[in-house]
Structure 1
Amino acid sequence: MHREITITNTHNAKLFSILIVLVMALCAIGISLFGNSLGPPVGDLTRIGGLSEKNYGFRREGIGFTDNHFTVLRYDDLMSGKGKGQILTFGDSFSTPKDHNITWQNTLYEKSGLTIDFVEIETLKEIRKFFQSDTFRKAPPKAIILEMGERTIFRRALPNMEQVNCAMPPKQPALTLSPQTVPRIRWKQRTDFASFDERLSWGALALRFRLLKPGKTVDVALSRSDLFSSSRSDRLLIYQSDIIRHTERAFLPMEPEVAAKKTLCAMHDVINAANGLSPVYLLIAPDKRSVYTPWIQTGLPPKAINFLEVFSKQAGSYYIDVFSPLSAAVHAGKKDVYFPNDTHWSAEGHAIVGSVIAETLGR
């Protein structure tokens, strides 16, 4: 009797194990098929929203560079004197190396012939600290470019708002530019998965974000369908921060007018800390929403502060306006100035930005 019970329990355990394996296999197959229906993960907005690359993906041929023509440094490397570029750029995700080397610094090198270093930043406080260092005073670059996203400029300026030198920085001197011939490459967005694991993980990630973090990506209707090459070209994907970081709540406990004034002052203070040893320029990367606003049909909360307007009107010669040329390109019908599936500029957008910066430096 005891032996029969043991045999039965062993048999049931095997059946249960087989059932578990079958369920796991079916789940893996289901998630894989779901991932396959979305297409391989490419854009940041499609990834964080669990959306289909087949619907929102870039569908044109792009032109990039065969190599990156700028050096990426850590902040500690910069402070220890390892920066050798003639132009130093501080920036965020709009300036980091991109697939196919489309980043605007490559266009700037092509237009100027000047070597470039890039350091990713957190706040203005670190930049000010560099300007006050012996490293900077001993070997100041020919020019410095500060790039910050429109949605993040207040947060990056916040740690430096206790400084008091709000005086308008002096006019920046022009540089001598020597344009270079730089090899280019043609590319297309990939349409195949690298492996089964990627298909499975992409499907699982998409399910997770759809179920647990809805709203990270906002999908709004457009009145035009010729602005993007995607299948859903009448839709605009934007990051939720393009909305929430511009509401009054984002600037509390300050009133919007005070926050705008303090942000402008903090920027002036940082640039003045360079003490004229290097001309310093500010570039604000416009939110995707800002450039495509004329065609957005869905009602979005208005901006409590329009930093693009604040700096355009009050910043003087150190401000590089890229909003106007990017908007002009979209108005003229240029497709994919921003990627349809991503927060950032396409190769077209990066080329516009790099060209505008080179023009400004040599003006």
Structure 2
Amino acid sequence: MKHIGHIKQVKQFLRVLKLSNYKKYVYIFSLLFLFSIGFHLTVWNVISKKVLLTDKQIYRGDLGRTSFKVDSINSRPSYLVKEARNLPKKHIVYKDLKPRETVDVITIGDSFANAATQGINPYFQDYIATYNDFKVLNILPHFGNFIETIAVFYNSGLLDELSPKAIVIESVERFCIPRFISKLDLSKNIDKSRLKKILAKGINFYQTKDPYISFINSQNFRAASFNIQRVYNNYGNYKFAILSPMKRDYFSTKDSNTLLFHREDIENNYLITNENIQSLNNNFNKLANKLKNKGIKLYFMPAVDKYNLYEPYIENNSYPKSQFFEILRGLPKEYELIDTKAILSQELKKGVKDLYYADDTHWSYKASEAIFKKVKFE
């Protein structure tokens, strides 16, 4: 009987021990859970909520979202806010064209041409339309190389229908050489009816909505990590962005004299050679000569890289300079070069702030306004 009593006591002790361990694990788990919730709530409210796309009516720049640098964020209206598009004349897209409707100018390009920056009047095409009283048609990039896309329009007979006076091809500077130095096939063609169907179904992926972001998300860890790094190193490199101190204020954000720019602005500089730019120039000359047969003038608008534009004003700059525009300016052209670096450099000398958004790789409406007040379409 005594043995049975001892056994009962041992079992009771083990039950108490298990219960004690269970309570300990519950306690540890509760602490970790509360810490995790506290971490996410804190980082969300202090950093992530102010940087990420958390409000459909408000847009923040790509570099701001990459670097989580709150004091460089330039919050601006998203493209959904109609009041931000206040120019009297707007561009059109292909699906809105009426049968047998003609246009004055056709534009095609990358994110700069498709309002990826958002904010006030993000389409530079609207400035072309307003300042020239033109009907401007923006074509979404469907066929890769923009030059060959225009050749497809030419060969299919679509240009004959649209009857434009001018075509503007835009490309951000850092991608100009990869896009435009390869050997061209200007004989490419697509049946006109099929081509029209493709164009009518075009979707601007730069304007698609981002998914809803909860306050608990993986971005919070990057937000905390990047901002802790900046406590010990004010200026530095991140996966996509580089920060550099500037000689004076060029932005209207809280941090008004730090340049935030894309790494590829300097990493692609090795492509800038006389040979490559000569090949690019030759390709544009070929297309320009082809378009002249129909009385159409070709304009090429390389959008100057943010780093290249602001480079003269960086404190103790150790990064290589871009010579893209300097080399291209000296070459013989059958097309018209829209020299965005020259035009916007003059605006910087006047002290204009926010030509580029502090938190973005893209320029603002101030740049579009300055460029197309100077560019005259003949």
Q: TM-score over 0.5 for the alignment?
A: yes
**Are the counterparts in 2 of residues 132 and 273 from structure 1 also a CA contact under 8 Å?**
no
Alignment of structure 1 residues 7-86 onto 2, 5 Å: 16=25, 20=29, 23-38=32-47, 39-41=50-52, 42-52=60-70, 55-58=71-74, 64-66=84-86, 69-73=90-94, 85-86=103-104
For 1:154, which of 163, 177, 191 is the aligned residue?
177
Match of 1:267 among 284, 287, 290: 284
Q: Which amino acid aligns with 1:272?
A: N
What is the CA distance between 1:242 and its match in structure 2?
A: 0.7
Q: How does 1:75-154 map to 2 (within 5 A)?
A: 85-97=103-115, 98-121=118-141, 122-123=144-145, 124-154=147-177
Provide the rounded CA distance (Å) in 2 between the counterparts of 1:264 and 1:139. Answer: 26
Q: How do 1:198-213 and structure 2 match up within 5 A?
A: 200=217, 203-204=220-221, 206-207=223-224
Distance in 2 (alpha carbons) for counterparts of 1:143 and 1:6: 86
Shift of 1:14: 8.5
**Alpha-carbon contact 1:158-1:263 (below 8 Å) kept:** yes
Task: State the distance in 2 between where 1:12 and 1:140 align.
Answer: 81
- Paired residues in the alignment total 315
Match of 1:220 in 2: 244
| Aligned AA (1:283) | M
From 334, 341, 344, give the equivalent of 1:326.
Answer: 344
Is the 1:221–1:235 Cα contact (8 Å) retained in structure 2?
Answer: yes
Identity %: 21
Q: Tell me how far apart the structure 2 counterparts of residues 139 and 242 of structure 1 sit (CA, whole Å).
A: 36
Match of 1:293 in 2: 311
Query: For residues 100 and 11 of structure 1, what CA distance do their matches in structure 2 show?
Result: 62
Are the counterparts in 2 of residues 73 and 118 from structure 1 also a CA contact under 8 Å?
yes
Task: Tell whether the 8 Å contact from 1:104 to 1:353 is kept in structure 2 after alignment.
Answer: no
Residue 329 of structure 1, CA deviation = 0.9
State the 1:154 CA deviation: 0.5
**Higher mean C-alpha displacement, 13-22 vs 277-286:** 13-22
* Bigger mean CA deviation after superposition, 81-90 or 119-128: 81-90
Q: Partner amino acid for 2:283?
A: A
What CA distance in whole angstroms lies between the structure 2 residues aligned with 1:350 and 1:216? 25
Q: Which runs of 5 or more residues in structure 1 are unaligned?
A: 166-193
SS of the aligned residue for 1:95 comes to helix
Equivalents in 2 of 1:292, 1:220: separation in Å? 10
| 1:15–1:162 CA distance, 2 compared to 1 (3 A) | same
TM score, norm. by length of structure 1:
0.72
Spell out, residue by residue over 1:70-96, the C-alpha distance to the aligned partner (whole angstroms, 9 max, x if none). 23459xx99xx9986432100111121
Q: Please tell me whether the aligned partners of residues 298 and 335 of structure 2 are also in contact (alpha carbons under 8 angstroms).
A: no
1:145 touches 1:281 (CA, 8 Å); kept in 2?
Answer: yes
- Cα-Cα RMSD: 3.8
- Structure 1 residue 208 displacement after superposition: 7.6
After TM superposition, the score normalised by the length of structure 2 is 0.70
Of structures 1 and 2, the one with the larger relative CO (CA 8 A, separation 6+) is 1
Larger radius of gyration: 2
1:290 aligns to what SS in structure 2?
helix
Please, which runs of 5 or more residues in structure 2 have no aligned partner?
1-7, 53-59, 78-82, 188-210, 230-236
The aligned amino acid for 1:343 is T
Q: 1:138 to 1:110 in 2, by over 3 A?
A: closer
